Chains A and B, each alone.
Chain A
Amino acid sequence: MKKTFKLEDLDCANCAAKMQNAIEKLDGVKSVTISFMTQRMTLEADDAAFESVLTAAQKVIKKIEPDCIIVR
């Protein structure tokens, strides 16, 4: 499943790149791109694990930029 989410309060371009790197390494993630320009994350992961991957991704994002949240 591939889904696109809006990221709120993504303030720093370098952070976006760091987040992408970190989320790519999560279990179950097939591909992920974070676009600072459109403030969007496109996440592709296994259907069954999608929710848990998303939660893990949110944790990673919070670590790098605490104000930033995934709008579901």
Chain B
Amino acid sequence: MKYRLSKKEKRIGLRILLSLAAFIVVFAVDKSIDLASSVGGKLGWLLPFFLYLAIYIAIGCDVLYRAARNIAHGQVFDENFLMCVATLGAFALAIFRGVTGQEIEGFDEACAVLLFYQVGEFFQRYATGKSRKSISALMDIRPDSANVIRGGETVEVSPDEVHIGETIVINPGEKVPLDGVCISGTSSLDLKALTGETLPSPIAQGGKVISGSVNLEGKIEVQVEKEFYDSTVSKILELVENAADKKSKAENFITKFARYYTPTVVICALLLAVIPGAITDDWAGWIYRALSFLVVSCPCALVISIPLSFFAGIGAASRYGILIKGSNYLEKFSKANIFVFDKTGTLTKGNFAVTAVTPADRCEEILRLAAICEQGLSHPIATSIVECYKNEFGADIPSNYSIKNEAGFGVVASCEDEVLLAGNAKLMRQYGINCDATTDAGTTVYVAKNGALIGTILIEDELKSDSPALIGALNGMGAKTVMLTGDSEAVAAKVASATGISKYHASLLPADKVSKVEELLAEKGKNDVLCFVGDGINDAPVLMRSDIGIAMGGVGSDAAIEASDIVLMQDDLNGIPLAKRIARRTMNIVTENIVFSLAVKVAILILSALGITNMWIAVFGDVGVAILAILNAMRVGLKYNTDKK
């Protein structure tokens, strides 16, 4: 993303260059042949005075104009005005020296200070504009138009003019403007801007299409399911744009500080000029010191660089599919040290899968018989068995059985003289079949044929492959990890030991989860920050209750986006340590900028009060520090190692 200078900026840039060149020429000539004495006489100082005055006006006319205009508007502590007072003051002192016949000096300084101020302002504006644009570009997923089919023709309209039920065409390379379902064509979608996922996801007829993704290969037709304002892309944009409004403590501190800083420094400058001036009678010297004060009195470095750091942090996170809903959350999350996880759908995949069949040598038969019973049922256990059979053996499932579903027990399937049973131990007992209740963590399905037990199928919720690494990373950071689950003690213990989670609470009803989190909130220390990580389904109240609510796999789940403070768009736990690293780096840079800017300003104030520095240093303290702070803020957006590949 290239940042282009606007016309206004080009004009200012040119003026600065010309004035700088003129200044260097006059300065060099003055220093080598001493203009004042070359004219000689009492009025010799007038020659350098007029030369420098011309440059001063050339470089500073806009500052002077703005200062005058703002004074008329009652804006007294405006930086333009302060800069004018400082430089005109320096000029006045130089004139005073000239009139009283002292050695000529100070004209060059007044000019140079204003010149550097302009150069600094220019770079500051350039750097801010550039960084703001580059961060915004990262977050820009707004689609410009939609191709909607109306009356057999494709018309290009604005996305908000398309209504539910209409069909839109998305050509390769275009952004998907609205959420919907693919009704014809195949292609793959690039979700990078939404989730940070780099692998394209394939799409075919019947597949969900999410707005904000980019169509890569083939032309597809999509039936619109949501109005534009309700589509994923609008939701995300709204969230990111509003993120800057939720200000962090650091930002609020700076805004408050800025309001008092300038008046305070100006008053100090006034006192510094008047009191020692009256005592020592060295008016010129003390006024000069006071003028340096005015130069450093603008808090710009802080006022720009702190929000910019947060903005860069939020932007960097969004590049990895992590949406942070405000600077305040970023600030808080950097201190997060208690992580509470929901088990199902967060640490585990939330889908049931066959993990063991006993006895293993009759695996095919057991699965086939179970699949016969369970086919056509929508219960997750049933679908997992059918899916497993199809995947492993790929054969058709005989469908000539009559199926009877015994809710809460299992299924009975019969065909001629064959009777098949698939269900829990209670079902077996009901049919007079002996079986030992297992103690495995998970759900056991017993399979029997004609009154004899054939085998068992163990079904478990699969652990996500990156869960142990995540918990390990968090434990390594010294964080406390807790797991909450509605499942049994045995299941919880197994997941806890597999992931290395330090504490768990099992057999919780959804309402118990809220009270458990409240308990943990009450227990924690004042500086601890509790994060709850959930998949956004059923746990919205907990997400809202905790200090930071993190919802996983946010694409398409409005409730999760609504209730949480941080949304991981991708169903990928790596986002958590990554977000933590981004938050930490942001806060480090914010602290650096606050400390650095304040330290330099205070140092310059003290040194100028003591008369050690001059106005040259002071102008660096104003714009130089601002530029350095902005550059430092941009470090937030540098690449992060995602530890994935």
Contact = CB atoms under 8 A, between A and B. Distances in A.
Interface of A: 4, 11-14, 17-18, 21, 33, 35-40, 42, 63-64, 66
B245 interface: yes
Contacts of A37: 132, 135, 244, 307-308, 311
A42 B304 contact: no
8 contacts: A11-B125, A14-B299, A14-B300, A33-B245, A36-B307, A37-B307, A40-B241, A63-B75
A14 B245 contact: no
Contacts of A18: 75
Contacts of A64: 73, 75
Nearest to B6: A9
A4 B255 CA distance: 22
A38 B241 contact: yes
A4 B132 CA distance: 18
Contacts of B311: 37-38
Task: Across the A-B interface, give the 9 residue pairs with the lowest CB-CB distance, nearest first.
Answer: A35-B244, A37-B311, A33-B245, A13-B304, A13-B303, A14-B303, A63-B73, A37-B244, A17-B255
A14 B622 CA distance: 14
A35 to B, nearest CB: 4
A19 B132 CA distance: 20
A32 B627 CA distance: 29
Contact of B245 (A11, A12, A42): A42
B581 to A, nearest CB: 22
The CB with the most chain A CB atoms within 10 A, among B299, B303, B308, is that of: B303
A42 B125 contact: no
Interface in B243-281: 244-245, 255, 258-259
A19 B75 CA distance: 12
Interface string B287-312: 00000000000111001100110010
A3 B140 CA distance: 20
B69 A66 contact: yes
Interface of B: 69, 73-75, 79, 125, 128, 132, 135-136, 241-242, 244-245, 255, 258-259, 298-300, 303-304, 307-308, 311
The CB with the most chain A CB atoms within 10 A, among B74, B298, B304, is that of: B304
Contacts of B259: 17, 21
A15 B417 CA distance: 87
Contacts of B74: 63
Contacts of B242: 42
B323 to A, nearest CB: 15
Nearest to A16: B303
A11 to B, nearest CB: 6
Contacts of B304: 13-14, 36
Nearest to A62: B73
Nearest to A67: B8
Contacts of B73: 63-64
A11 B304 CA distance: 11
B300 A38 contact: no
A11 B132 CA distance: 12
Nearest to A32: B245
Contacts of B303: 13-14, 17
A45 to B, nearest CB: 16
A13 B241 contact: no
B235 to A, nearest CB: 15
Given A33-B245, A36-B307, A37-B311, A14 B258 contact: yes
The CB with the most chain A CB atoms within 10 A, among B79, B125, B241, is that of: B241
A2 B226 CA distance: 22
Given A13-B300, A14-B298, A64-B75, A38 B136 contact: yes
A13 B132 CA distance: 12
A42 B125 CA distance: 23
Contacts of A11: 125
Nearest to A17: B255
A17 B241 CA distance: 17
Contact of B307 (A12, A13, A40, A42): A13
Contacts of B258: 14, 17
B273 to A, nearest CB: 25
Nearest to A66: B69
Contacts of A39: 132
B9 to A, nearest CB: 10
Nearest to A64: B75
A32 to B, nearest CB: 10
A40 B243 CA distance: 12
A12 B124 CA distance: 10
A36 B131 CA distance: 12
Contacts of A33: 245
B245 A35 contact: yes
A37 B69 CA distance: 26
A14 B73 CA distance: 17
A37 B132 CA distance: 6
Given A37-B308, A42-B242, 4 more contacts: A17-B258, A17-B303, A37-B244, A64-B75
A4 B241 contact: yes
A70 B304 CA distance: 21
Nearest to A20: B255
The CB with the most chain B CB atoms within 10 A, among A14, A21, A33, A37, is that of: A37
B629 to A, nearest CB: 11
A14 B301 CA distance: 10
B123 to A, nearest CB: 13
B166 to A, nearest CB: 27
Contacts of B308: 37
The CB with the most chain B CB atoms within 10 A, among A11, A12, A36, A39, is that of: A12
A42 to B, nearest CB: 6
Nearest to B74: A63
A21 to B, nearest CB: 8
Contacts of A63: 73-75
A66 B70 CA distance: 9
A66 to B, nearest CB: 7
Contacts of B298: 14
